[in-house]
Structure 1
Amino acid sequence: MAKRKTPTPSAETEQAVQPALPEQVTSQPASSDKPTHQDGVYSRFSDFDIHLFRSGKHQKLYDKFGAHVVEHNGVIGTYFAVWAPSARYVAVIGNFNGWDKGSHSMNVRWDSSGIWEVFIPNIGRGETYKYFIIHEGGREVEKGDPYAHWWEVPPKTASVIWDTYYEWQDQEWMANRAAKNALNAPISVYEMHMASWRRDPGNPERELTYGEIADALVPYLQDMGFTHVEFMPVMQYPYAPSWGYQITGYYAPSSRFGTPQEFMKLIERLHQAGIGVLLDWVPSHFPGDANGLYEFDGSHLYEHPDPRKGYHPDWKSYIFNYGRPEVRSFLLSNAMFWLDRCHADGLRVDAVASMLYLDYSRNAGEWEPNEFGGRENLDVISLIKEINEAVYKEFPDTQTIAEESTAFPGVSRPVFMGGLGFGMKWMMGWMNDTLRYFQRDPAFRKFHQDELTFSTVYAFTENFMLPLSHDEVVYGKHSLIGKMPGDEWQRFANLRLLFSYMFTHSGTKLLFMGGEFGQTSEWKFDSSLDWHLLEYGPHKGMAACVKALNALYKAEPAMYERNFSADGFEWIDTSDRENSVITYIRKGNRPEDNLLIILNMTPIPRSGYRIGVPSAGSYREVFNSDAVEFFGSGVSNSEPIASYEQVWHGRPQSIDVNVPPLGAVVLKMI
């Protein structure tokens, strides 16, 4: 198979650059008619591009705006285009002209689009630049390029002329990823923050490069058995304590770790290892950074001018003007960019609830109802639907995942069915109830068993992903192992039990880095995880347990084939509150694939614990969280367990099981 390329080489002619390669052609071409030229000014925009941009429908603005190295009239140089409708003067400034504000002014288009353009000869890849803008009222600003593909490393703030040309070698993954990303496939996600996953052992202050991350991450994920990795925001962000959620460069991988091509190489290596890549995407807000989107042309260009809709009180950041067509095109194109140019396998969309509701984190009088008197942001709802429709049309083998914490209906239902169109939604209620339950002293869990069983009341109303994310291990919440009650042995047994419950519950899975080996301290964005803990038995056993759960998850169809369907889950018993034991069945497409799960929420082993089973036969233990290799006590069922004719739990057949203390047992019929 021919190598698949991402277009826009830095030193090719205009004719070689513009067409999309056959494998990348979409229903909306990069140029739908010829680019327009006026008075000899080179432009990458056609009249149809302008129409799409101004109607909020353009999906590939990254082919148009920004800095593009091209040949024009026999001279190689760089074409710049920026949207600044409230400006009366715009110029490109940079090292190449000594940051002279008067030497390279831009030309405003004649079509009232507010787009400024210029071709500057004899400059190219690697040049730093900004836009100098004078607002029509006289205000002067210097801004980075919203469409730049690379930026200087913070604290420097200039954009850098770069391209996204890359000769991809992940054809096998791309050809087959539909099966890996399907809703009936095992999806176990490792959430990680690049800057703090590992640091240079010889210099803990130094963050690893994309290449160094790949060297360590690829074999680690393969060994642990995760199917996907989710990177917390990798888009260019100036302020490290924001964890990446305050973005200035929406079209650029963070320069902290290397070039765009090195980022692509990281994704390629993960794909070659059979691991999918999800990117955390933040269309909900952006910082008031002097070099970023805020008051870009001296006016409220990207943010809503009304602070009731344009300012986020929680994060002290600014909210996109979702009703402005050009801003909608910016966000729509941005979602497509990461899937198109970077081969991402999906987007986890941050803070969807904050976008959906006009009164989110606002008191009475601090928000304005929509035209129907409701609190829903109708512009956001329509935009989310359009983005999801576009993503699933152009990249049907990817997934979009909503971090949405309310009961908004149909988040993960198709748009044609009245939903928002996401593929999955984080199950925040499950996360909150589960963590609250497991933090309780086992002696009192019998009074709170409904906290665990309640999730199945609504578990199949959406396509849920079960998250134990970074948000649960910061700001004084303690690490996961730190939340668990009891002595050291009990804390580790509790966490292994929690993970067992998570993996055997309906839904896909997400676990934040460090949790898989029982990181003891809270997550810190500016230092490495405590990898040395793996030298100790409890932590080594925890990692072995998570590895075994991932293997079980992928090996047993009952764990994933009906992840989002009520017919894939059945309670055996939820009424044994006194012993704090719950039992249930996970069902595959074939009855012989069904699994029985027994969870003992107390440190008291239950010998010969009787449960009703769905059919006569012998059952073998396929997983036990109390295994010695997991740092458990070794209470197990080493021999097959034969059923006998005894009505129990309303079933004609029963078995007697040894259930370990604070342990989970998974059984399968032989």
Structure 2
Amino acid sequence: MNELLPLNHDLLQKLATADLVRPDQILGAHPTVQDGVEGVRFAVWAPNAQHVSVVGDFNYWNGFEHPLERLDFGFWGAFVPQARAGHAYKYNVTGQDGRTVQKADPYMQRSELRPATASIIWESSHPWNDQDWMEKRDQGPGKPISIYEVHLGSWARTADNWYMNYRDLAHRLADYVDWLGYTHVELMGVMEHPYDGSWGYQVTGYYAPTSRFGTPDDFKYFVDHLHSRGIGVLLDWVPGHFPTDEHGLAHFDGGPLYEYADPRKGFHLDWNTYIFDYGRNEVVMFLIGSALKWLEEYHIDGLRVDAVASMLYLDFSRTDWVPNVFGGHENLEAIAFLKRLNDVVAHRVPGAIMIAEESTNFAGVTTPAPFGLGFHYKWAMGWMNDSLAYIEKDPLYRKYDHHKLTFFNVYRTTEKFMLAISHDEAVHGKKSLLRKMPGDQYAQMAGLRTFYTYMWTTPGKKLLFMGQEFAQGTEWNENAELPWYLTDFSDHRGVMLLVRDLNALYKSQPALHCGDHLPEGQMWVNADDADASTYSYIRRDPGTNDWVLVVLNMTPVYREGYVVGVPEGGRYQVLLNTDDGEYGGFGTQQSDLTAREEGVHGQTHRLCLNLAPNSALILKPLPIPVGDRRAEMDLGVTGAAAGEGAAEA
């Protein structure tokens, strides 16, 4: 019979400490040396179980060889000398219902490749080389954040249509993202999950990167390499629900444990998943420990927390629900959990950002705790819905929904928003962004270029799903790589070049990112020209007063000599024109970019612009060269005023 040594109980006493936020350092499978003997320490939480044993490669999966000892506080543990890193294992859990079920380790660091479900003992040896990045990363509200959302399993594949390794993906993705100018990538489906079709949103391994693309150290290499290229890495994280798979967290010790016992609180009818019991400290420990595992050990730069609205409300997508103690519909335990989560992250990982996918008007999502939830950013779901509803309309009727594009400005400073066009907007019959646009292929391309310019110049951080940057025509398919051949066509490549230039402008022009969450960050010049479906607005950096002018023509009508008010006279330069031939346009030129002293739209001067059909312009006033008397005379600036203008320039 295999030898089983008594567990060192001192190692488990920390589990009684209420403020322990890294339970994975004790629970799970840990190669160690005990009393001079090399082996693996196993520990699991199963307070209602009648019996627990560990089975694996080290004991021929015999459930009688290595029973775990029942410890205090509902924990079980054993030290197994025969176990080694690389061995697969599971827990045989005889639950309160009398059934014995083989369970994957909730704290596993690595899993077998699906459809196999065993956990794998893991010991990392990756040497990190991103210390400089980790010390200097700055992701505050005044910084540009432009995110490329990626599903690794379908971004690129091998020649035989199989998954690429994290290491190979690191180099290819970093080259591409760096060329496009994004500041971050956000990864879908990285945490271990059994079903490909869930895209990683039904998680069974909250502490394990999916084995589809390699080992945990391969994933660390991926993060390390992107950091070396100056690219941040964000992950989707799902603390709102988990799947019903028998080998996972569901009914872990024979009955509700990680999930609420009352199905009116503990089961999602829409998603066929269980809801975490946020009132149990051990469950809160489990989730916060997972977040910190990714942020601290995998050097992740932030988490996008999925489906926050489903956590906040007890009546989310259900008619039969249980009110809270005050009779309301808010889940007070989930709210407390989110506040605690963000507070812990802020104190332990101050460089990381927390992003909420929250679709309601719940107040204070990005307000620091205790008065708010404490997230850094919130997805602007209202902006997304209004914007997409507008662009899908026939241009003939857009004038009737003109203020769908201006309404965001009414509430944009109530939270710190992130403008996200995610994977959800390119699947399930919603069509790709390109095919949402009305008209023929040329009109759709022009409309998409204009929409992207509107998005990149609207206050808020940016996120765009992969494939949309080169105007993918079909919906996203998670079972095949992106249709990269489209980038060989000039119109598709033109959209990609535009996204690249938008990212460059977004980062280089403080006016486009510094005032994202401040009232003075955007000022409408003309928000009311519904008949022409045009918009003009100024983006401004409140700190330096640097500004740019944005003009949108949302119809397939050429407008010559269109008048736009500006606050300064002088000559202007075109920073970007979506009708440029390089992007696939006709190359409409401006006949005169000198602002005249004829007030309009509440401004002191006016520009007369030529607006191509379905196009956008970004303009900026040119400074007066010091001592350039001809320029001063041309602009009508004389005397002391000319001297002052030159000095300021």
Q: TM-score range by the shorter chain?
A: over 0.9
Corresponding position: 1:42 with 2:8: yes
Does the residue aligned with 2:523 lie in a helix, a strand or coil? Answer: strand
Residues 193-235 of structure 1, C-alpha deviation per residue, up to 9 Å, x if partnerless? 11111111x212x111101211210100000001000001311
Matches within 5 A, 1:414-429: 414-416=368-370, 418-429=371-382
The aligned residue for residue 221 of structure 1 is 177
How far the C-alpha of 1:617 sits from its partner, in A, is 2.2
Q: Among 524, 539, 543, which residue is 1:571 paired with? A: 524
How far the C-alpha of 1:591 sits from its partner, in A, is 5.4
State the alpha-carbon separation in 2 of the partners of residues 595 and 637 from structure 1: 17
Residues 269-291 of structure 1, C-alpha deviation per residue, up to 9 Å, x if partnerless? 00000000100000000001111
The aligned residue for residue 256 of structure 1 is 212
Corresponding position: 1:355 with 2:300: no
Task: Determine if contact 2:549/2:618 at 8 Å carries over to the other structure.
Answer: yes
The aligned residue for residue 511 of structure 2 is 558
How far the C-alpha of 1:44 sits from its partner, in A, is 6.1
The aligned residue for residue 203 of structure 1 is 160
How far the C-alpha of 1:637 sits from its partner, in A, is 3.1
How far the C-alpha of 1:144 sits from its partner, in A, is 0.4
How far the C-alpha of 1:163 sits from its partner, in A, is 2.5
Task: Determine if contact 1:164/1:341 at 8 Å carries over to the other structure.
Answer: no
The aligned residue for residue 78 of structure 1 is 40
Corresponding position: 1:583 with 2:541: no
Deviates more, 1:473-482 or 1:654-663: 654-663
State the alpha-carbon separation in 1 of the partners of residues 281 and 511 from structure 2: 45
Q: Among 143, 167, 175, which residue is 1:185 paired with? A: 143
Does the residue aligned with 1:658 lie in a helix, a strand or coil? Answer: strand
State the alpha-carbon separation in 2 of the partners of residues 580 and 41 from structure 1: 72
The aligned residue for residue 120 of structure 2 is 160
Unpaired runs of 5+ residues, structure 2, are: 623-649
Does the residue aligned with 2:445 lie in a helix, a strand or coil? Answer: helix
How far the C-alpha of 1:594 sits from its partner, in A, is 0.2
State the alpha-carbon separation in 2 of the partners of residues 72 and 583 from structure 1: 70
Task: Determine if contact 1:593/1:668 at 8 Å carries over to the other structure.
Answer: no
The aligned residue for residue 16 of structure 2 is 51
Task: Determine if contact 1:169/1:268 at 8 Å carries over to the other structure.
Answer: yes
Task: Determine if contact 1:621/1:638 at 8 Å carries over to the other structure.
Answer: no
Does the residue aligned with 2:309 lie in a helix, a strand or coil? Answer: helix
State the alpha-carbon separation in 1 of the partners of residues 26 and 336 from structure 2: 25
Corresponding position: 1:343 with 2:299: yes
The aligned residue for residue 399 of structure 1 is 353
In the superposition, the TM-score normalised over structure 1's length comes to 0.91
State the alpha-carbon separation in 1 of the partners of residues 385 and 549 from structure 2: 25
State the alpha-carbon separation in 2 of the partners of residues 135 and 544 from structure 1: 58
Task: Determine if contact 1:79/1:117 at 8 Å carries over to the other structure.
Answer: yes
Corresponding position: 1:604 with 2:557: yes
How far the C-alpha of 1:165 sits from its partner, in A, is 4.0
Residues 567-619 of structure 1, C-alpha deviation per residue, up to 9 Å, x if partnerless? 11100011111111110000013555200000000111222211111122221
Matches within 5 A, 1:138-537: 138-177=98-137, 179=138, 181-200=139-158, 202-204=159-161, 206-363=162-319, 366-416=320-370, 418-537=371-490
State the alpha-carbon separation in 2 of the partners of residues 44 and 267 from structure 1: 35
State the alpha-carbon separation in 2 of the partners of residues 144 and 565 from structure 1: 48
How far the C-alpha of 1:347 sits from its partner, in A, is 0.3
Q: Among 594, 604, 610, which residue is 1:642 paired with? A: 594
Residues 6-25 of structure 1, C-alpha deviation per residue, up to 9 Å, x if partnerless? xxxxxxxxxxxxxxxxxxxx
State the alpha-carbon separation in 2 of the partners of residues 63 and 429 from structure 1: 40
How many corresponding residue pairs? 618
Does the residue aligned with 2:287 lie in a helix, a strand or coil? Answer: helix
How far the C-alpha of 1:634 sits from its partner, in A, is 0.6
How far the C-alpha of 1:620 sits from its partner, in A, is 0.8
State the alpha-carbon separation in 1 of the partners of residues 387 and 97 from structure 2: 55
How far the C-alpha of 1:658 sits from its partner, in A, is 1.8
Task: Determine if contact 1:626/1:636 at 8 Å carries over to the other structure.
Answer: no
Does the residue aligned with 1:467 lie in a helix, a strand or coil? Answer: strand
The aligned residue for residue 546 of structure 2 is 593
Unpaired runs of 5+ residues, structure 1, are: 1-38
In the superposition, the TM-score normalised over structure 2's length comes to 0.94
The aligned residue for residue 3 of structure 1 is none
Specify the code of the residue in structure 1 equivalent to 2:147.
V
Does the residue aligned with 1:79 lie in a helix, a strand or coil? Answer: strand
Identity of aligned residues (%): 46
Specify the code of the residue in structure 1 equivalent to 2:36.
G
State the alpha-carbon separation in 1 of the partners of residues 264 and 347 from structure 2: 34
Specify the code of the residue in structure 1 equivalent to 2:58.
F
Deviates more, 1:70-79 or 1:341-350: 70-79
State the alpha-carbon separation in 2 of the partners of residues 462 and 184 from structure 1: 14
State the alpha-carbon separation in 1 of the partners of residues 564 and 179 from structure 2: 35
How far the C-alpha of 1:633 sits from its partner, in A, is 1.2
Specify the code of the residue in structure 1 equivalent to 2:534.
V
Specify the code of the residue in structure 2 equivalent to 1:653.
H
State the alpha-carbon separation in 2 of the partners of residues 77 and 609 from structure 1: 77
How far the C-alpha of 1:188 sits from its partner, in A, is 0.3
State the alpha-carbon separation in 2 of the partners of residues 51 and 638 from structure 1: 75
Task: Determine if contact 2:171/2:225 at 8 Å carries over to the other structure.
Answer: no
